[in-house]
Amino acid sequence: MDLDFIQDERLRPVAEKVLAGERLSFDDGLKLEQSSDLLAIGYLANHVRQQRHGNLCYFNINLHINPTNVCVSGCQLCAFGRKKNARGAYTMSLEQVWEAAAEGGSEAVTEFHIVGGLHPDLPLEWYLDLIHGLRRRFPTVHLKAFTMVEIAYLARGARLTVRDTLLKLQEAGVGSLPGGGAEIFDPSVRRRICAHKMSGEEWLETARAAHQAGLRSNATMLYGHIETARDRIDHLLRLRGLQDETGGFMAYVPLAFHPANTQFSYLPPSTGFADLKSIAIGRLMLDNFAHVKAYWVMMTPAIAQVALRFGADDLDGTVVEEKIYHEAGATTSREMKRDELLRLIREAGRDPVQRDTLYGPVARPQVTFTVQT
């Protein structure tokens, strides 16, 4: 294939590998990181994306629920968590969680995305009741609930293995796990951004246990703080390694760090250039992940839309009431209407597919799409 689209000659061998369908190495990843030839990187990522998904772009109709912001972890990166009796700390009652689910369920929601802090007093039974209650009230809604960090914390509190905890939650109605809490796996970075959170190894170990229990999950990477390019590529390769083993990850979701109201408030926020590069490099390195998600809440709808031409095939969903990013200064809306998602996707020349959490299509008469052959 003609490689005229490349301006940075150092990318040529990487491009040749991508176009030949070969797996990229750590050094290839670094070359991509060190290059400013964003259009060439994006072209390659788009090539991979087109091969996997043609012209399709996925989205879902979901509702985020954060039952509590009380958290013992005190991560330096986080603007959401509060100590138990601190100002602004909240914990919803089970009834309030179920009411929030009912109130947000107006637009044919197919997924509740449920994550919260590590609450020192809420036992596993409380979470099982929460899930049971949602399952009973909303039997058709998929419950994507609790990060690896929450799962391991609940297991420790209940004196159960991670596997047994996962099995109990699954039995109660949890259908899959979101990808949060991965941050950056490198231990020296972790010590500075989330000193008391589980290690990267433990995150991967918990994801492995989840996949082995039959629960699929997503995976995230938090970038744009104190990490280096090497840390980012190392993170991606560790995710790729586990995916080779379990095949249990559905989507990779790069998350740009929002510094406001965190201990890193002196750092500048991410840029459109860095966001698009992150999406594209993720798509190129994670050759065994089906999906790369441009989470519009984090990267703004404007950049997320462009990302659909830089390797992303999924815009996440309607979200409603996002708290974690907005506490950290996100200026995006807290919700997006289905019609607006459709407009963004169609304007980018993609064919929208409303999906369920596990990427099965959701039949809705309003959605029309064609697969390009």
How many angstroms from the chain centroid is the CA of residue 218? 6
Rule CB under 6 A: choose which of 29, 173, 181, 301 binds ligand V47.
181
Rule CB under 6 A: choose which of 78, 155, 242, 307 binds ligand V47.
78
Looking only at residues 202 through 261 of this chain, which bind ligand V47 when binding is defined by CB under 6 A? Answer: 218, 220, 222, 253, 255, 257-258
Q: Which stretch binds ligand V47 (CB under 6 A): 12-20, 30-38, 50-58, 177-185?
A: 177-185
> What is residue 80's three-state secondary structure?
coil
Q: How many residues bind ligand V47 (CB under 6 A)?
A: 21
Q: Which stretch binds ligand V47 (CB under 6 A): 75-83, 150-158, 235-243, 338-346?
A: 75-83
Closest residue (Cβ) to ligand V47? 180
What is the Cα–Cα distance from 149 to 256, expressed in whole angstroms? 19
179 lies in the binding site for ligand V47 (CB under 6 A): yes
CB atoms within 10 A of CB 163: 15
Report strand pairing: 291-292 vs 56-60: unpaired
What is the Cα–Cα distance from 218 to 249, expressed in whole angstroms? 5
Per-residue mark of binding to ligand V47, 126-165 (x: CB under 6 A)? ----------------------------------------
- Residue 144 pairs in a beta bridge with 113, 176
172 lies in the binding site for ligand V47 (CB under 6 A): no
| Shortest distance (Å) from residue 20 CB to ligand V47 | 31
- Residue 292 pairs in a beta bridge with 252
| Shortest distance (Å) from residue 325 CB to ligand V47 | 6
Angle at the Cα of 200 (from 195 to 203), degrees rounded to 5?
Answer: 110
Rule CB under 6 A: choose which of 77, 101, 172, 306 binds ligand V47.
77
41 lies in the binding site for ligand V47 (CB under 6 A): no
88: left (phi over 0), alpha (psi -120 to 50) or beta: left
| Shortest distance (Å) from residue 10 CB to ligand V47 | 31
- Report the residue count for the chain: 373
Q: Which tokens go with 205?
A: 């170990």
295 lies in the binding site for ligand V47 (CB under 6 A): yes
Q: Which stretch binds ligand V47 (CB under 6 A): 46-54, 277-285, 300-308, 321-329?
A: 321-329
The DSSP call for residue 57 is E
| Shortest distance (Å) from residue 298 CB to ligand V47 | 7
How many angstroms from the chain centroid is the CA of residue 46? 20
What is the Cα–Cα distance from 84 to 50, expressed in whole angstroms? 48
111 lies in the binding site for ligand V47 (CB under 6 A): no
Q: Which amino acid is at 315?
A: L
Contact 322, 343 (CB under 8 A): no
List residues binding ligand V47 (CB under 6 A): 77-79, 178-181, 183, 218, 220, 222, 253, 255, 257-258, 262, 295, 316, 324-325, 328
